[in-house]
């Protein structure tokens, strides 16, 4: 423990050591990550606080890249990390597609200030916020708080490369979610609300509780039903780009430069072609000031930007970093990420820089949400889907199961559970017939309601035994005032 | 390089804890090694090596846990954060946490590698992966893209607790995935072949990776040329990998006691009949080898991350729900015994209830042969090679991918069909099981990575075929 170097010293030591070992180019990255994560499943809290520091290096040797990381900041461990990264690069052989690590860009840089108020945010304050969310939900008759989380994280990053990039930055944000359950009707159901902001002043705990209450009330008394037809489907914004399985996230995967370069998407060589209906416009906006992913530079030092991906149905470009930009004869549009998505998943220190979306925007259309429902003779409006990760992104084939509402004769009849939809996404995108004027701002996307004209839907009603079992539970809950499943 | 006990440091943390009147402290001290190589279309796309190190400290005081993580040199700061976390936890908590008692064990466990993956030169790993990727290509160019992904992990962790537990463990994982994609016009079919075990590079001596890649390629091509299945409801036979997938995703997750403290379809159902009397749901961390195979199962371990020895847990016994999967806190909450299911992916992860090797098994004397299982269905579909899944354990619904599908006609395996998905309701599906074979599948081909609360856990393992009266089959 005595030989541990301070983080910046460890970064510079690694870069010097790599140069001494005659690498052709070197990129060093350090990250000091702090998180406070206050969660609670019903009445049982789960609190995680932590600080994680580390360095990672991309070295260029033999015209190829090697990558290594360590969180043990001793000279010995940094040296072995660099040595393995060099061995790694050399073993791969020369890559004709590799040109260079990024050089300092002449593109305009949008300054994204870090909200210093986040530094003074305490675990105690976050816990008070979560307690308010829980109380507000439980105060609503018929609803029970199920689980939730509020979290804050900050990252102090330093990126240096041998081409002259030297960027120190600090980013962060606050967010959270809550889920509530309702036992109204025969089948219990739950729903959730998610919110997040890069600035403390814009974040309201109440927004999470109100969203959760509203969504759970809408989800109460779901039906199961026998259904096997092709009908219109209205995707709520959450079903398009929600964190928990938005169907159109599959389109974003198909526009990643690495998938385009390897032909693992239907959209290689499709720039300039109409790939959706003409009312569909898709943007990736890395500098959207309202989103927690906002920052001035991407993870390899290229300025972030607002990128028009699909303009009125016509494919304009792909999501690109420096390597795949050059490989495809295009320029990076600042989409290199180190995997950590605010509050969820990956560790930026351990992550090889790769392409990802930053913040997605779909432009609103001309119809109102009510008009979309009114013009649906029979169909569904879906909110949450599961099973998207099993989709085939190379073709866009998917089969997902979800929750939503059954629509008949232009009216929402009831919430419906176990609704499965399947198909080929490229075909469905040619089949968008309505987009709403109303747009919802979600954690990582802004999106309107989108109606797909014809989608195969299957669904099955619970069998008698299951319905009978649920009826027994309902009787118990009526008699005891407490549902056995909750 | 071996992680060594840092008893002085642990004692300093326990001393700090005693000053704060903490009743229980555990420290997870980790220094793990990682390598991964990702080859796409014969070219190394990414390769990385690295080390992950730090400590996670969990304290229990006044009936509430606090947890924090950081680097070892900042242990005082990490401890302070854990105490702050505990105070916040106490404020939010309405139920006091108690821990089920366990024996304080001192042990050192090193799961052996005949050929430690960490000692294999990078070039050798790269060559094996590039050669395997080449096999995925075909002469007729039906396979349009290939991906071969390798990784090895050496998980090195010491668990020290204020109750006197001190367990150091080295657990190695070595895994290779092959993913060929066949394409014809706008139609594609993505295959998936897996090889993995708890162990080292000897994996590639124990199994014929070239043959596995070739078989995956052939299946992928045949699958593309096969007819699509009309979405609907079919009687089905699940192979060993989908037995594992269903048992894990649909049934297993619903038995995790930490989540059940809030809600779930199996809450309040202990002692209730969920399936016919031949059905057993097993979660077994002690299952090291499956008879007839030389590779360790992917869910094998000695202790969980609270130092509880793993066991074979009979969750459903003869059709009746007998137990949940527990950590020490949820065992105390439900007044159940500890099952050794508490796991944390990294030192920085909050320990939660996770599965190990999970599968459906027939009761003693009631196991069927695979042929008998097929005959139970008579006409339907044989679903093979699970391709990932997702479950909603509150609603009790699941959705799985299947990579290989055959018709069953008059109890015989018929024509191959296109890969598809299945979905359904957990309780309904359990009640519709018609029969199970106990002939276990190759564990090296059944390696799983379960995601829960943002953490991944290595899980297994392939079991026997089972027949289901009816299931929703997607497009």
Name the residue of chain A whose CA is nearest to B190's CA.
Answer: A392
- With an 8 Å Cβ cutoff, are B388 and A46 in contact? no
The set of long-range contacts for B210-218, using a CB threshold of 8 Å and a minimum separation of 24, is: B210/B131, B210/B132, B210/B135, B212/B178, B212/B445, B213/B132, B213/B135, B213/B136, B213/B148, B213/B178, B214/B135, B216/B136, B216/B178, B216/B180, B216/B191, B216/B192, B217/B135, B217/B136, B217/B137, B217/B138, B217/B143, B217/B180, B217/B191
Do A233 and A173 fall within a single domain? no
CB nearest A485 (choices: B93, B123, B263) = B263
- With an 8 Å Cβ cutoff, are A72 and B389 in contact? no
Amino acid B391: pLDDT = 80
Amino acid A185: pLDDT = 83
Amino acid B425: pLDDT = 86
Q: How far is CA A321 from the centre of its chain?
A: 18
Does some domain include residue A434?
yes
B145 CB neighbours in chain A (<8 A) are 262-264, 394
Amino acid A486: pLDDT = 63
Strands B64-70 and A44-61: parallel
A350 CB neighbours in chain B (<8 A) are 34, 48, 50, 52
Do A209 and A352 fall within a single domain? no
**Domain end: A182, A217, A252, which one?**
A217
Do A316 and A209 fall within a single domain? no
* Number of domains observed in the structure of chain A: 2
Do A207 and A295 fall within a single domain? no
Does some domain include residue A481?
no
A428 CB neighbours in chain B (<8 A) are none
Residue span(s) of chain B under CATH 3.30.2290.10 come to 7-225
Name the residue of chain A whose CA is nearest to B182's CA.
Answer: A394
The predicted complex's ipTM stands at: 0.89
**Domain end: A217, A235, A262, which one?**
A217
A87 CB neighbours in chain B (<8 A) are 122
- Cα distance from A437 to chain B (closest Cα, Å)? 32
**Tokens 């609103």 correspond to what residue?**
A364
Range of the domain at A276: 225-459
CB nearest B475 (choices: A44, A47, A456) = A456
Architecture in CATH of B7-225: 2-Layer Sandwich (3.30)
- With an 8 Å Cβ cutoff, are B397 and A81 in contact? no
Does some domain include residue A2?
no
- With an 8 Å Cβ cutoff, are A399 and B45 in contact? no
CB nearest A486 (choices: B40, B68, B263) = B263
A394 CB neighbours in chain B (<8 A) are 145, 181, 183, 188, 190
* pLDDT average per 10 residues of sequence, chain A (486 residues): 87 98 97 95 90 96 94 95 93 92 95 94 96 96 93 96 97 95 86 94 97 96 92 97 88 95 88 97 96 93 97 98 96 89 66 93 97 98 88 84 95 94 92 97 95 92 75 70 64
- Cα distance from B200 to chain A (closest Cα, Å)? 19
- With an 8 Å Cβ cutoff, are B186 and A266 in contact? yes
- With an 8 Å Cβ cutoff, are B69 and A423 in contact? no
Does some domain include residue A471?
no
B390 CB neighbours in chain A (<8 A) are 245, 386-387, 389-390
8-state DSSP, A256: B
Identify the segments of chain B with pLDDT beneath 50: 1
Helix (H, G, I), strand (E, B) or coil at A196: strand
Do A210 and A285 fall within a single domain? no
Does some domain include residue A479?
no
CA distance A457 to A419: 7
Do A195 and A329 fall within a single domain? no
- With an 8 Å Cβ cutoff, are A127 and B91 in contact? yes
CA distance B112 to B468: 39
Q: How far is CA A365 from the centre of its chain?
A: 23
- With an 8 Å Cβ cutoff, are B47 and A66 in contact? yes
The 10s digit of each residue's pLDDT in B136-147 is 999 999 998 899
Name the residue of chain A whose CA is nearest to B329's CA.
Answer: A44
CA distance A92 to B46: 10
Amino acid A468: pLDDT = 74
What percent of chain B is helix, strand and coil (3-state, nearest 5)?
25, 40, 35
Amino acid A341: pLDDT = 47
Amino acid B390: pLDDT = 79
Name the residue of chain B whose CA is nearest to A354's CA.
Answer: B46
Amino acid A483: pLDDT = 66
What is the value of pTM for the model shown? Answer: 0.92
Do A173 and A321 fall within a single domain? no
CB nearest A466 (choices: B89, B268, B427) = B427
Cα torsion A80, A82, A86, A91: sign: positive
Do A319 and A357 fall within a single domain? yes
The 10s digit of each residue's pLDDT in A239-276 is 999 877 799 999 999 999 999 998 888 899 899 999 99
CB nearest B425 (choices: A423, A466, A484) = A466
- Cα distance from A414 to chain B (closest Cα, Å)? 17
CA distance B68 to B80: 8
Residue from B15, B23, B19 nearest B98 by CA: B23
CA distances in angstroms from B108 to B4, B155, B165, listed in the order given: 11, 14, 11
Do A213 and A232 fall within a single domain? no
Give the residue from A4, A14, A39, A47 with the most B CB atoms within 10 Å of its CB, the best one to mutate: A47
Do A38 and A94 fall within a single domain? yes
B245 CB neighbours in chain A (<8 A) are none
CA distance A324 to A317: 12
Strands B232-238 and B380-392: parallel
Amino acid A43: pLDDT = 83
Q: Please report, for the domain that includes residue A205, its CATH number.
A: 3.30.2290.10
Give the residue from A40, A46, A50, A89 with the most B CB atoms within 10 Å of its CB, the best one to mutate: A50
- With an 8 Å Cβ cutoff, are B394 and A188 in contact? yes
Give the residue from A42, A49, A183, A463 with the most B CB atoms within 10 Å of its CB, the best one to mutate: A49
């Amino acid at each position: 423990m005595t030989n541990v170097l301070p983080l910046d010293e460890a970064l510079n030591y690694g870069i010097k050591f790599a140069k001494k070992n005659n690498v052709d180019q070197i990129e060093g990255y350090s990250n000091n990550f702090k998180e406070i994560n206050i969660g609670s499943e019903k009445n049982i809290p789960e609190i995680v606080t932590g600080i994680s520091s580390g360095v990672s290096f991309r070295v260029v040797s033999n015209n190829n890249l090697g990558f290594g990381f360590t969180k043990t900041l001793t000279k010995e461990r940094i040296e072995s990390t660099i040595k393995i990264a060099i061995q790694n690069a050399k073993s791969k052989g020369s890559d004709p597609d590799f040109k260079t690590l990024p050089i300092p860009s002449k593109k305009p840089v949008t300054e994204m200030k870090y909200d210093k108020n986040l530094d003074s945010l305490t675990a105690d304050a976050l816990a008070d916020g979560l307690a308010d969310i829980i109380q507000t939900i439980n105060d609503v008759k018929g609803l029970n708080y199920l689980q939730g989380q509020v979290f804050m994280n900050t990252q102090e990053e330093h990126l240096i490369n041998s081409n002259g990039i030297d960027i120190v930055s600090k980013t962060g944000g606050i967010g959270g979610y809550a889920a509530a359950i309702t036992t109204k009707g025969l089948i219990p159901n739950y729903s959730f609300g998610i919110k997040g902001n890069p600035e403390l002043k814009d974040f309201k705990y109440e927004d999470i509780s109100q969203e959760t209450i509203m969504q759970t009330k809408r989800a109460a008394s779901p039906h199961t039903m026998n259904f096997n037809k092709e009908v219109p489907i209205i995707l709520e914004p959450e079903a398009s780009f929600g964190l928990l399985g938005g169907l159109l996230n599959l389109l974003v995967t198909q526009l990643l430069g690495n998938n385009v370069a390897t032909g693992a998407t239907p959209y290689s060589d499709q720039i300039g072609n109409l790939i959706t209906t003409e009312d569909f416009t898709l943007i990736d906006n890395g500098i959207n000031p309202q989103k927690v992913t906002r920052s001035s530079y991407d993870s390899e030092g290229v300025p972030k930007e607002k990128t028009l991906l699909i303009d009125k149905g016509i494919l304009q470009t792909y999501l690109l970093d420096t390597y795949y930009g050059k490989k495809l004869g295009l320029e990076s549009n600042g989409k290199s990420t180190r995997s950590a998505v605010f509050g969820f998943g990956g560790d930026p220190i351990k992550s090889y820089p790769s392409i990802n979306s930053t913040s997605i925007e779909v432009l609103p259309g001309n119809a109102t949400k009510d008009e979309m429902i009114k013009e649906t003779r029979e169909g569904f409006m879906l909110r949450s889907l599961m099973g998207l990760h099993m989709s085939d992104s190379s073709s866009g084939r998917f089969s997902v199961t979800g929750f939503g509402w059954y629509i008949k004769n232009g009216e929402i009849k009831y919430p419906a559970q176990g609704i499965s939809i399947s198909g080929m996404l490229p075909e469905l995108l040619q089949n968008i017939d309505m987009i709403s004027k109303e747009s919802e701002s979600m954690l990582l996307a802004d999106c309107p309601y989108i109606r797909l004209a014809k989608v195969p839907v299957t669904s099955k009603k619970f069998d008698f035994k299951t319905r009978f079992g649920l009826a027994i539970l309902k009787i118990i809950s009526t008699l005891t005032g407490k549902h056995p499943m909750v | 390089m071996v992680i060594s006990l840092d008893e002085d440091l642990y004692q300093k943390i326990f001393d700090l804890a005693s000053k704060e009147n903490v009743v229980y402290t555990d420290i997870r001290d980790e220094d793990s090694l990682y390598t991964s190589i990702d080859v796409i279309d014969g070219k190394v796309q990414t390769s990385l090596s690295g080390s992950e190190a730090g400590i996670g400290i969990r304290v229990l005081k006044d009936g509430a846990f606090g947890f924090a993580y950081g680097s070892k040199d900042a242990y005082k700061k990490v401890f302070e954060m854990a105490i702050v976390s505990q105070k916040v936890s106490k404020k939010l908590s309405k139920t006091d946490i108690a821990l089920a008692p366990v024996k304080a064990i001192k042990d050192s466990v090193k799961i052996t590698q005949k050929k430690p993956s960490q000692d294999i030169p990078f070039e050798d790993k790269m060559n094996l992966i590039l050669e395997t990727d080449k096999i995925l290509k075909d002469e007729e160019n039906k396979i349009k893209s290939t991906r071969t992904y390798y990784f090895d992990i050496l998980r090195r962790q010491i668990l020290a607790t204020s109750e006197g537990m001190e367990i150091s463990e080295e657990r190695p994982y070595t895994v290779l995935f092959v993913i060929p994609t066949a394409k014809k016009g706008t139609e594609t079919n993505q295959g998936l072949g897996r090889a993995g075990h708890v162990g080292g590079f000897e994996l590639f001596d124990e199994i014929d990776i070239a043959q596995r890649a070739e078989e995956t390629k052939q299946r992928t091509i045949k699958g593309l040329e096969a007819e699509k299945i009309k979405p609907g409801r079919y009687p089905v036979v699940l192979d060993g990998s989908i037995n594992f997938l269903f048992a894990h995703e649909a049934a297993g997750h619903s038995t995790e006691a930490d989540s059940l403290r809030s809600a779930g379809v199996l809450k309040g159902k202990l002692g209730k009949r969920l399936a016919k009397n031949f059905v057993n749901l097993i979660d077994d961390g002690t299952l090291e080898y499956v008879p007839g195979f030389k590779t360790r199962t992917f869910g094998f371990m000695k202790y969980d991350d609270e130092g509880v020895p793993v066991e074979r847990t009979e969750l459903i016994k003869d059709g009746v729900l007998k137990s949940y999967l527990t950590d020490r806190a949820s065992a105390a909450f439900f007044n159940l015994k500890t099952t050794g299911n508490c796991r944390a992916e990294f030192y920085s992860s909050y320990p939660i209830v996770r599965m190990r090797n999970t599968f459906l098994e027939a009761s003693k004397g009631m196991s069927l042969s695979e042929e008998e299982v097929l005959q139970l269905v008579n006409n339907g579909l044989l679903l093979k090679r699970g391709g990932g899944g997702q479950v909603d354990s509150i609603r009790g619904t699941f959705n799985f991918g299947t990579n290989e599908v055959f018709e069953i006609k008059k109890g015989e395996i018929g024509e191959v069909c296109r890969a598809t998905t299945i979905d359904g309701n957990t309780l309904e599906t359990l009640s519709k099981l018609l029969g199970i074979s106990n002939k276990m599948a190759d564990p090296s081909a059944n390696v799983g990575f379960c995601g829960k609360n943002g953490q991944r856990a290595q899980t297994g393992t392939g079991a026997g075929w089972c027949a289901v009266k009816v299931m929703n089959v997607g497009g």
